[in-house]
Chains A and B, each alone.
Chain A
C-alpha cells in the first residue's frame, strides 16, 4: 500500500512531458517555485477550461453513456447558469440528493433531466437572453432548495 502511494506521488503527468517540449526552463521553474501565470495567461487558462467544459458537455450529447472521470452526472443547466461550484449549483445538487433520489418519480425525473439537459445547456450558452430568463425562472427553485435542505438533513 505504502509502495503504491509512493509510486503515485512520483508519477508524472502527460502534460508535464508536453510542457517540457515547450520550454524546459519554465518546467523547471514551475517544479521549483510552483505554477505562476501572467494575467493574460490566467485569462487563457480560464478560456481553455470553458472550452474543455463545452467539449465535455457535447460529448454527453453525442453519447450520454460516455465514460468520464469528471463528477458525472452534473447539474448541466445550473453549471451553465451559475458555474460548476457555485452555491446555487450546490443547492440544486443537494435537492437532487436529499429529496429527488428518495422517490421513484424523482429518480425518473433526474434520468430524463440528464438525457435532456446537455442540449438545453448548450442552447443557453449561445443565447444570453434566454439564459437570463432561465436564471430568473430557476432562482425561486434554488431559494426553495436552500430553504428546504437544512430541514431534510
Chain B
C-alpha cells in the first residue's frame, strides 16, 4: 500500500514537472514573439534594476529590461501600456536618461537605439517601437531646464492637450478659467488656443524665447 502511494506520488510529481517545463518553454517562446529580429539572439541581463550615477549630475534610473547583444552592448526596453501603438518623446527622454545612468554608473555600453514596448491593456499584445536615444549633452540641457523649473526661476509650460488636462488632478489649480464642461467636451478654450498649436508629441505649448 505504502509502495503504491509512493509510486503514485512520484508519477504525480513527474507529471507536474513535465507540465511546468513545457509551460516554461511555451512562455519563453511567447516572450520571444514580440522581440525584434536583432534581439532574438540577445540574452536578458537586467529586469527592474535601479542604476545611479553622480556624474555629470546625480541621477536615478530604474530600467524595465536590458538585453545583452552578442557584441556585449545593452539594449534598453521600456514597457508602456497604451491603446495606441505609439512612442512619445517622454519615452525617449526616459530611456536616454536610463542610458546615461548605466553608462556612467555601471560603465556599460548601451546601444544608441532603445525599445519602447507598447502593451495593449486588453489584448496584452506587445509592439516594440525602436527610438533613437538622446545624447548626453541633450540630457544635460533637459536637466538644467528641470532644475530651473523646480527652483521656480522659469515659468513652466502648460500642456496644450485637452485630453491630458481632462485627466489631470491639478486642472482646477492650473486652468481655473476652463470649465469642466469644456474639458469634457474636449473643446479647446480660446485663451489656451492663442498660446499656440501642439508640438510633436505630448502637446506642449511652444517654449518662450526668454527661457
Once the chains are docked, how many angstroms separate the CA of A81 from the CA of B31? 22
B20 touching A116 by the CB < 8 A rule?
Answer: yes
Once the chains are docked, how many angstroms separate the CA of A40 from the CA of B164? 12
Report if B8 contacts A (CB, 8 A).
no
Q: Say how far B176's CB is from chain A's closest CB, in angstroms.
A: 13
B81 touching A47 by the CB < 8 A rule?
Answer: yes
Among A52-60, A93-101, A134-142, the stretch in contact with B: A52-60
- Which residues of B1-49 are within 8 A (CB) of A? 17, 20, 23-24, 27-28, 31, 43-49
Which of B62, B64, B91, B101 meets A55, CB within 8 Å?
A: B64
Report if A68 contacts B (CB, 8 A).
yes
Q: Say how far B105's CB is from chain A's closest CB, in angstroms.
A: 11
B149 touching A20 by the CB < 8 A rule?
Answer: yes
Once the chains are docked, how many angstroms separate the CA of A61 from the CA of B59? 30
A14 touching B44 by the CB < 8 A rule?
Answer: no
Once the chains are docked, how many angstroms separate the CA of A60 from the CA of B44? 9
B97 touching A41 by the CB < 8 A rule?
Answer: no
Q: How many A-B residue pairs have CB under 8 A?
A: 174
Report if B167 contacts A (CB, 8 A).
yes
B101 touching A14 by the CB < 8 A rule?
Answer: yes
Number of residues from B at the complex interface, CB < 8 A = 60
User: Can you list, as one digit per residue, whether each of B85-103 has a CB less than 8 Å from chain A (1) or not (0)?
Assistant: 0001111011001100100
Report if B194 contacts A (CB, 8 A).
no
Q: Say how far A20's CB is from chain B's closest CB, in angstroms.
A: 6
Once the chains are docked, how many angstroms separate the CA of A20 from the CA of B143? 10
Interface residues of A (CB under 8 A from B): 4, 7-8, 10-29, 31, 33, 36-38, 40-41, 47-48, 51-52, 55-56, 58-63, 66-70, 116, 118-120, 122-123
16 further A-B contacts with Cβ under 8 Å, apart from A14-B101, A68-B46, are: A12-B57, A12-B59, A12-B143, A14-B60, A20-B142, A21-B201, A24-B158, A29-B173, A31-B150, A33-B170, A36-B169, A36-B170, A41-B169, A55-B65, A59-B47, A118-B24
